[in-house]
A and B are shown apart, each in its own frame.
Chain A
Amino acid sequence: QKEVEQDPGPLSVPEGAIVSLNCTYSNSAFQYFMWYRQYSRKGPELLMYTYSSGNKEDGRFTAQVDKSSKYISLFIRDSQPSDSATYLCAMSAVGGAQKLVFGQGTRLTINP
């Protein structure tokens, strides 16, 4: 079983929809949670970062962490075609904060 599970999709939604992306994990030592966005044939880029549990909002993006359920989410409001990309969750533990473990990535398409 992988430490981090993420549905690879693909996920296709109309422009303006609310998108929900999720990951589950098994390692209770994970404390740092990140979402990276990767456009086709590009390297991933950091989108959101949270420490421990709770919510974080940045514009149209909201990241949620539920450590009791070992479940993290990324919500995208008012989705735009430019949001079409692969979204990867990543996490790390306090003792090895730099050692990121990535999910498989969810491929998202926003249709105009």
Chain B
Amino acid sequence: DAGVIQSPRHEVTEMGQEVTLRCKPISGHNSLFWYRQTMMRGLELLIYFNNNVPIDDSGMPEDRFSAKMPNASFSTLKIQPSEPRDSAVYFCASSSRSGSPNEQFFGPGTRLTVL
């Protein structure tokens, strides 16, 4: 299995630009999670989906952030407009059983730098 796939791996953009991060979960997994990791705040859950439906988006910092999961094999996290404080590593993770604390498999992350 290829594992969780994220793209791009690195993104450098200027303040005010729109940023779209992409994730392909492990085939057969029905839960998908978006996290953000910074030195100051550590690893924080932004939003998660079960069976393509958003369950909890309380970690999404502002309205500038939005996430979608149009089908079981694809999700996006969009930041519009981006700000320098959004600079972080964004991880996508998936797991195989909604509603349980099953192991979450993380992707390699997208390192975002907003200038």
Residues of A within 8 A of B91 (CB): 43-44
**Which are the 9 A-B pairs with shortest beta-carbon distances?**
A43-B106, A97-B101, A32-B101, A102-B43, A104-B42, A46-B103, A44-B106, A92-B101, A43-B91
Chain B nearest CB, measured from A51 CB (Å): 8
Do the beta carbons of A96 and B56 come within 8 Å of each other?
yes
By beta carbon, the residue of chain B nearest A101 is B45
Instruction: Digitize B93-115: 1 where CB-to-A-CB distance is under 8 Å, 0 elsewhere.
Output: 10100111111111111000000
Instruction: Digitize B54-79: 1 where CB-to-A-CB distance is under 8 Å, 0 elsewhere.
Output: 01100000000000000000000000
Residues of B within 8 A of A49 (CB): 101, 103
Interface residues of A in 79-112 (CB under 8 A from B): 88, 92, 96-105
User: Taking the complex as formed, is A74 at the interface, i.e. its CB lies under 8 A from any CB of chain B?
Assistant: no
Residues of A within 8 A of B34 (CB): none
The interface residues of chain B, by DSSP majority, are classed as strand
Residues of A within 8 A of B104 (CB): 46, 100
A49, B91: Cα distance in complex, Å: 20
User: Taking the complex as formed, is B31 at the interface, i.e. its CB lies under 8 A from any CB of chain A?
Assistant: yes
A98, B55: Cα distance in complex, Å: 10
Known: A34-B101, A97-B99, A97-B100. 9 other contacts (CB 8 A): A42-B109, A43-B4, A43-B91, A43-B106, A44-B43, A92-B101, A98-B98, A98-B102, A100-B101
